[in-house]
């Protein structure tokens, strides 16, 4: 170019003549150079535009400018081959100057840029390495996730069933599948705990009962850690089938499976490691493969072993609870049946008792009634004594009949004692009187000792106390063929009471009660001490009874004991043996009466033919009844009670006769509404006076309507027919006291 | 000697009474009546029983008359008579008579004429039986009183 520049100047003559060929070639080359120079930036721009990221645009622009200018220069050079004008020379010069500037600037710029460009390359390499590393790690994580998924699936399979067999089988199958095992086996400890028995295998259907002693070193090694341990394929637990592969058998891993029991779980810690049994799970990789046990696979195996342990324990717990539940159901059914049977039995017994009672009472009443009638007649002293004895015996028999019913009530706990004040002395005397005839027939002597400090009167159930004493003494008499019977009664004191038989019972008397101790000693046939407990059982009869007398204990002693218990006491029998007599002692708690109550003794129980008749002192009463018989009977009743009786046979007569002097008007309301109207009219008659007579209705109807009607018309009382002397007496007393009496219907 | 006869008669009387009780002809109400007999009213029982006989015979005649009517329909009236009879029978303790009256009343409640007839026949039969036995009782009583020469029971000791 320099050549060209100087050659174009006219000042200097060319050295040689311009060669046409040379010039032509230069001409063409310049042209192509320019072309190239112009197309390179275009290409650059084109491709840069195509690429999204290119950080060095500025450099590219510079470079582009440089190239363009160089191209321009070469292009302009085309005009300088021939003679050219000054303009061309100027343009050429300008272009060259610009080119120079730009190229220098570019050169300077490149100094900075090229190291950067080079370092980009290294970074790229670095990133590539990193990417490869991450890929590797990803691969690892994925593998682990796979493992985790397998474990979860396995666990799910295992835990979805509560059947032990299924659990174990599933474990082996799933493990085999996940880890692609050749064989998988489970060894369970035998009952003795000294051996391991092959329980389940994966491939073999029916494992023969191989056993292996449990204290092999390899097994101990496995059991002593909770990790999966690699063991030798030659050890007994791993040699399950004949070695088939040509090369080495696959690696074997064994892990322990804890067999947990319910008792192993403490509240805050996991099960203790110490005293437990383990099962052994053995896993074998396929032989002839180069596979090795990877860490994650071992971890999987350990986790599975733990899960299996938990699943097994759940299965065991469930089994237990199912068994317990079945047992309970059975027991419930049995109990239900027993209860129903018992109820039926109780009903049957109650019905029987009720019926028997009723049937027995009827003749009893007849006996009692007639005996009491007999008592009212003229009798010799002996006869009177006999009749009284008959009466008392029948009363006692009636009481016994009641007590047969009571015994069932006693056993149900529904019996209650009747407390009255009574004379202790008279109780004993009566017993004695009752027993004396029998005793004298048997030529037994009977003695009674009553302590001097025994209270004269006591509060308690006289009837049942007497029955108890009578029963005991009666037994003594019954079972003695000869000799004597002694009855002693004292007040039991705590100090004197050191009976070893009932050490927990300590009678403590107080101000309101005392303990009566009665002892009956006989010299009869005695009892074998072994039989003594049976005596108080009802209906049991002692085999030792040799007498030909009446049948044995029956209910007697059983009832006695229950009565004594009700009276908060104790009863016991002592005997030294057969033929040596026997002593019955009982202690009961009785109350001390506040003051000696003579009047309360006046009531004799249930014996008709009363000794006491309250005299109503000429009480004026009016009886209205249209039935002549009833009128006479009622009149007789009231006369007997000492009243002054007027009778009326109709309502009109009654209204005529009634006067303020009459204290009570008895009217019969059996016949229609007359009675009610009469009552109202009487009330009207005496409306203005304070002293109208009390109006009492007599009726045989036992329905509430009658009662309501009577109350509605303003009557003062209602009594049910038939009337007895006692009833009328009671009614009159009540009426005069309370001025009203409505008998319960 | 006298005493012995009275005692035998006394035994007879008691035997009869016991028999009647056992048969259910009499019940406790009769005893109550006997209790009311004392020195102030020594013949109380026989008096009451005689009144009973009078009234009952009247009632029984009425009942038979009613039932024998050709167009009989007045069950209510029969019921009234029956109630009277029942009331007096139970007052003196004639248990069997009372029971038959109850059955009779049930028949009248159902307007059962043939039932009523049957009941009436039974009633008459029972009544006759009772009357005979009570007469017997009173006879023995009278004889005994004569034989013993003492008054009948002293009530209050």
Looking at the structure of chain A, the number of domains it has is 4
Residue A382 to residues A153, A182, A293, A379, A389: CA-CA distances in angstroms?
A: 107, 115, 119, 8, 11
Chain A nearest-CA residue for B85: A627
Burial of residue A704 (number of CB atoms within 10 Å: 0-12, 13-18, 19+): exposed
Kindly state whether residues A74 and A205 are assigned to the same domain. Answer: no
Kindly state whether residues A521 and A629 are assigned to the same domain. Answer: no
Contacts of B48 in chain A (CB under 8 A): 629, 632-633, 636
pLDDT digits (tens, 9 = 90+) for A53-66: 666 677 777 777 88
Residue A640 and residue B35: Cβ atoms within 8 Å?
yes
| DSSP track, A455-466 | -SEEEE-HHHHH
Locus of tokens 């009678």: A507
pLDDT value of position A488 = 92
Contacts of B21 in chain A (CB under 8 A): 366, 369-370
Domain that holds residue B96: 2-147
Contacts of A373 in chain B (CB under 8 A): 14, 17, 31, 34
Handedness of CA A550, A551, A552, A557 (dihedral sign): negative
Kindly state whether residues A577 and A718 are assigned to the same domain. Answer: no
pLDDT value of position A333 = 96
Residue A724 and residue B92: Cβ atoms within 8 Å?
no
Looking at the structure of chain B, the number of domains it has is 1
User: What residues of chain B, 43 to 62, have a C-beta less than 8 Å from chain A?
Assistant: 44, 47-48, 51-52, 54-55
In 3D space, the residue among A445, A405, A461 whose CA is nearest the CA of residue A605 turns out to be: A461
Of A112, A146, A173, which residue is a domain's last? A112
3-class secondary-structure state, position A256 = strand
Contacts of B32 in chain A (CB under 8 A): 637, 722-725
Closest-CA distance, A423 to chain B, in angstroms, reads: 22
Cβ-proximal residues to A605 (8 Å cutoff; 6+ apart), any chain = A395, A463
pLDDT value of position A456 = 84
Residue A378 and residue B148: Cβ atoms within 8 Å?
yes
Kindly state whether residues A312 and A454 are assigned to the same domain. Answer: no
Residue B87 and residue A627: Cβ atoms within 8 Å?
yes
The answer to whether position A15 is within a domain reads no
Confidence of residue A626 (pLDDT cuts 50, 70, 90): confident
Residue B87 and residue A365: Cβ atoms within 8 Å?
no
The answer to whether position A489 is within a domain reads yes
What residues form DSSP beta bridges with A590? A514
Kindly state whether residues A518 and A635 are assigned to the same domain. Answer: no
Chain B nearest-CA residue for A637: B36
Contacts of A366 in chain B (CB under 8 A): 18, 21-22
Closest-CA distance, B109 to chain A, in angstroms, reads: 16
Higher per-residue pLDDT: A402 or A390: A390
Asked if B99 reaches chain A (Cβ–Cβ under 8 Å), the answer is: no
The answer to whether position B115 is within a domain reads yes
Confidence of residue B57 (pLDDT cuts 50, 70, 90): very high
The mean pLDDT value for A194-221 works out to 79
Kindly state whether residues A424 and A520 are assigned to the same domain. Answer: yes
Averaged confidence pLDDT in chain A: 78
Kindly state whether residues A443 and A569 are assigned to the same domain. Answer: yes
pLDDT digits (tens, 9 = 90+) for A420-440: 888 888 899 888 888 888 888
pLDDT value of position A500 = 47
CATH number for B109: 1.20.120.160
Alpha-carbon distance of A427 to A602, in angstroms, equals 15
Dihedrals phi, psi of A344, to nearest 5 degrees: -60, -45
B71, B80 contact by CB (below 8 A): no
Beta strands at A582-591 and A620-624: parallel, antiparallel or unpaired: unpaired
Asked if A609 reaches chain B (Cβ–Cβ under 8 Å), the answer is: yes
Nearest to A366 among B18, B48, B154 (CB): B18
Q: pTM for the whole thing?
A: 0.35
Residue B145 structure tokens: 């009183």
Confidence of residue A213 (pLDDT cuts 50, 70, 90): confident
Cβ atoms within 10 Å, residue A284: 23
Kindly state whether residues A284 and A423 are assigned to the same domain. Answer: no
CATH number for A496: 3.30.565.10
3-class secondary-structure state, position A280 = strand
The answer to whether position B85 is within a domain reads yes
The answer to whether position B157 is within a domain reads no
Q: Inform me whether the pLDDT recorded for A357 exceeds 90.
A: no
The mean pLDDT value for A300-307 works out to 86
Most confident residue range from A4-8, A150-154, A592-596: A150-154
The answer to whether position A381 is within a domain reads no
pLDDT digits (tens, 9 = 90+) for B110-146: 888 888 889 999 999 999 999 999 999 998 888 887 7
Beta strands at A277-284 and A582-591: parallel, antiparallel or unpaired: unpaired
Out of A332-336, A385-389, A417-421, A604-608, which region has the weakest mean confidence (pLDDT)?
A604-608
Domain that holds residue A659: 620-744
The answer to whether position B154 is within a domain reads no
The answer to whether position B155 is within a domain reads no
Q: Which conformational region is residue A642 in: left (phi greater than 0), alpha (psi within -120 to 50 degrees), or beta?
A: left
CA–CA–CA angle A552, A555, A560 (5° rounding):
115
User: What residues of chain A, 122 to 141, have a C-beta less than 8 Å from chain B?
Assistant: none
A246 is in an annotated binding site: no
3-class secondary-structure state, position A286 = coil
Nearest to A633 among B54, B83, B91 (CB): B91
Confidence of residue B157 (pLDDT cuts 50, 70, 90): very low
Residue B35 structure tokens: 């209790």
Q: Inform me whether the pLDDT recorded for A606 exceeds 50.
A: no
The answer to whether position B12 is within a domain reads yes
pLDDT value of position A246 = 62
Asked if B40 reaches chain A (Cβ–Cβ under 8 Å), the answer is: yes
A557 is in an annotated binding site: yes
CATH number for A189: 3.30.450.40
A524, A479 contact by CB (below 8 A): yes
The mean pLDDT value for A76-94 works out to 82
Cβ atoms within 10 Å, residue A390: 17
Nearest to B40 among A366, A639, A723 (CB): A639
Confidence of residue A330 (pLDDT cuts 50, 70, 90): very high
pLDDT digits (tens, 9 = 90+) for B69-97: 877 778 888 888 898 898 889 888 898 99
Cβ atoms within 10 Å, residue A496: 10
Q: Inform me whether the pLDDT recorded for A131 exceeds 90.
A: yes
The answer to whether position B66 is within a domain reads yes
Kindly state whether residues A97 and A204 are assigned to the same domain. Answer: no
Chain A nearest-CA residue for B152: A377
Prediction ipTM score: 0.78
The answer to whether position A394 is within a domain reads no
Of A299, A319, A339, which residue is a domain's last? A319
Kindly state whether residues A574 and A679 are assigned to the same domain. Answer: no
Number of helical H runs and strand E runs in chain B: 6, 0
pLDDT value of position A194 = 79
Residue A342 to residues A345, A348, A413: CA-CA distances in angstroms?
A: 5, 10, 17
Alpha-carbon distance of A94 to A102, in angstroms, equals 12
The answer to whether position A267 is within a domain reads yes
| b/e per residue A407-433 (b: at least 16 CB within 10 A) | bbbbeeeebeeeebbbbbeebbebbbe
pLDDT value of position A411 = 62
Q: Inform me whether the pLDDT recorded for A318 exceeds 90.
A: no
Q: Inform me whether the pLDDT recorded for A97 exceeds 80.
A: yes
A544, A527 contact by CB (below 8 A): yes
Kindly state whether residues A581 and A723 are assigned to the same domain. Answer: no
The answer to whether position A92 is within a domain reads yes
A201, A298 contact by CB (below 8 A): no
Mutate to test the interface with A, among B18, B20, B36 (most CBs of A within 10 A): B36
Alpha-carbon distance of A338 to A508, in angstroms, equals 42
pLDDT value of position A603 = 37
The answer to whether position B38 is within a domain reads yes
Kindly state whether residues A93 and A196 are assigned to the same domain. Answer: no
CATH number for A700: 3.40.50.2300
Asked if A613 reaches chain B (Cβ–Cβ under 8 Å), the answer is: yes
The answer to whether position A371 is within a domain reads no
pLDDT digits (tens, 9 = 90+) for A530-559: 777 776 665 445 444 433 333 344 567 877
């Amino acid at each position: 170019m320099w050549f060209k520049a100087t050659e174009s100047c006219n000042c200097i003559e060319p050295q040689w003549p311009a060669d046409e060929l040379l010039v032509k070639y230069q001409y063409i080359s310049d042209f192509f150079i320019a072309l190239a120079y112009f197309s390179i930036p275009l290409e650059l721009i084109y491709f840069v535009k195509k690429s999204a990221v290119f950080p060095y645009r500025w450099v590219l622009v510079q470079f582009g400018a440089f190239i363009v200018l160089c191209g321009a220069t070469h292009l302009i050079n085309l005009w300088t081959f021939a003679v050219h004008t000054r303009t061309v020379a100027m343009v050429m010069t300008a272009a060259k100057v610009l080119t120079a500037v730009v190229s220098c600037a570019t050169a300077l710029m490149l100094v900075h840029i090229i190291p950067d460009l080079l370092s980009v390359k290294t970074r790229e390499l670095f990133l590539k390495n990193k990417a490869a590393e991450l890929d590797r790690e990803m691969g690892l994580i994925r593998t682990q996730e796979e493992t985790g998924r397998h474990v979860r699936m396995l666990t799910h399979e295992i835990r979805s069933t509560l059947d032990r067999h299924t659990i174990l089988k599933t474990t082996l199958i799933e493990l085999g599948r996940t880890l692609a095992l050749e064989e998988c086996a489970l060894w369970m400890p035998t009952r003795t705990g000294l051996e391991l028995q092959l329980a389940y295998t994966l491939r073999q259907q029916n494992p023969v009962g191989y056993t292996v002693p449990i204290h092999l070193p390899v097994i101990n090694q496995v059991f002593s850690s909770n990790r999966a341990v690699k063991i030798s394929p030659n050890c007994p637990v791993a040699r399950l089938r004949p070695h088939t592969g040509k090369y080495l058998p696959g690696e074997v891993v064994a892990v322990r499976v804890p067999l947990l029991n319910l008792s192993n779980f403490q509240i805050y810690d996991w099960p203790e490691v110490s005293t437990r049994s383990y099962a052994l799970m053995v896993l074998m990789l396929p032989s002839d493969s180069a596979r090795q046990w990877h860490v994650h696979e071992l971890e999987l195996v350990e986790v599975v072993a733990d899960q299996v342990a938990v699943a097994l324990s759940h299965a065991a717990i469930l089994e237990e609870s199912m068994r317990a539940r079945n047992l309970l159901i059975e027991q419930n059914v049995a109990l239900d049946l027993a209860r129903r049977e018992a109820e039926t039995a109780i009903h049957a017994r109650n019905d029987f008792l009720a019926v028997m009672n009723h049937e027995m009472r009827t003749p009893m009443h007849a006996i009692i009634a007639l005996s009491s009638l007999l008592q009212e007649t003229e009798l010799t002293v002996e006869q009177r004594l006999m009749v009284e004895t008959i009466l008392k015996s029948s009363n006692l028999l009636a009481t016994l009949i009641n007590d047969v019913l009571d015994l069932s009530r006693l056993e149900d706990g529904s019996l209650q004692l009747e407390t009255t004040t009574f004379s202790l002395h008279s109780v004993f005397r009566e017993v004695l009187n009752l027993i004396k005839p029998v005793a004298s027939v048997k030529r037994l002597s009977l003695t009674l000792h009553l302590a001097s400090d025994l209270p004269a009167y006591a509060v308690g159930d006289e009837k049942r106390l007497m029955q108890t004493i009578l029963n005991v003494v009666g037994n003594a008499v019954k079972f003695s063929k000869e000799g004597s019977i002694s009855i002693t009664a004292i007040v039991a004191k705590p100090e004197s009471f050191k009976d070893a038989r009932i050490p927990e019972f300590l009678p403590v008397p107080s101000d309101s009660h005392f303990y009566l101790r009665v002892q009956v000693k006989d010299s009869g046939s005695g009892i074998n001490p072994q039989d003594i407990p049976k005596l108080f059982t009802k209906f049991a009869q002692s085999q030792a009874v040799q007498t030909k007398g009446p049948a044995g204990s029956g209910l007697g002693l059983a009832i006695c004991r229950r009565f004594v218990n009700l009276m908060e006491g104790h009863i016991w029998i002592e005997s030294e043996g057969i033929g040596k007599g026997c002593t019955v002692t009982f202690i009961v708690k009785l109350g001390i009466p506040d003051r000696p109550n003579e009047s309360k003794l006046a009531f004799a129980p249930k014996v008709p033919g009363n000794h006491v008749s309250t005299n109503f002192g000429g009480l004026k009463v009016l009886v209205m009844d249209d039935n002549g018989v009833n009128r006479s009977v009622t009149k007789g009743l009231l006369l007997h009670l000492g009243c002054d009786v007027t009778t009326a046979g109709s309502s009109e007569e009654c209204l005529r006769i009634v006067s303020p002097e009459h204290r009570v008007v008895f009217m019969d309301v059996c016949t229609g509404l007359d009675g009610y109207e009469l009552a109202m009219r009487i009330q009207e008659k005496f409306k203005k006076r304070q002293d109208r007579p009390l109006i009492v209705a007599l009726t045989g109807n036992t329905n509430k309507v009658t009662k309501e009607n009577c109350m509605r018309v303003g009557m003062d009382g209602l009594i049910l027919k038939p009337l007895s002397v006692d009833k009328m007496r009671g009614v009159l007393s009540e009426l005069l006291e309370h001025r009203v009496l409505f008998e319960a219907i | 000697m006298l005493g012995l006869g009275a005692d035998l008669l006394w035994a007879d009387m008691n035997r009869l009474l016991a028999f009647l009780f056992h048969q259910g002809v009499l019940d406790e109400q009769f005893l109550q009546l006997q209790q009311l007999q004392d020195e102030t009213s020594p013949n109380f029982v026989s008096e009451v029983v005689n009144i009973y006989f009078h009234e009952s015979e009247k009632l029984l005649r009425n009942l038979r008359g009613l039932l024998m009517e050709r167009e009989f329909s007045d069950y209510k009236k029969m019921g009234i008579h029956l109630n009277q009879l029942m009331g007096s029978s139970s007052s003196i303790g004639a248990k069997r008579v009372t029971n038959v009256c109850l059955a009779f009343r049930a028949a009248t409640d159902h307007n059962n004429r043939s039932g009523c007839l049957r009941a009436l026949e039974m009633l008459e039969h029972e009544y006759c039986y009772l009357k005979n036995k009570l007469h017997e009782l009173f006879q023995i009583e009278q004889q005994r009183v004569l034989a013993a020469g003492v008054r009948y029971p002293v009530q209050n000791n």
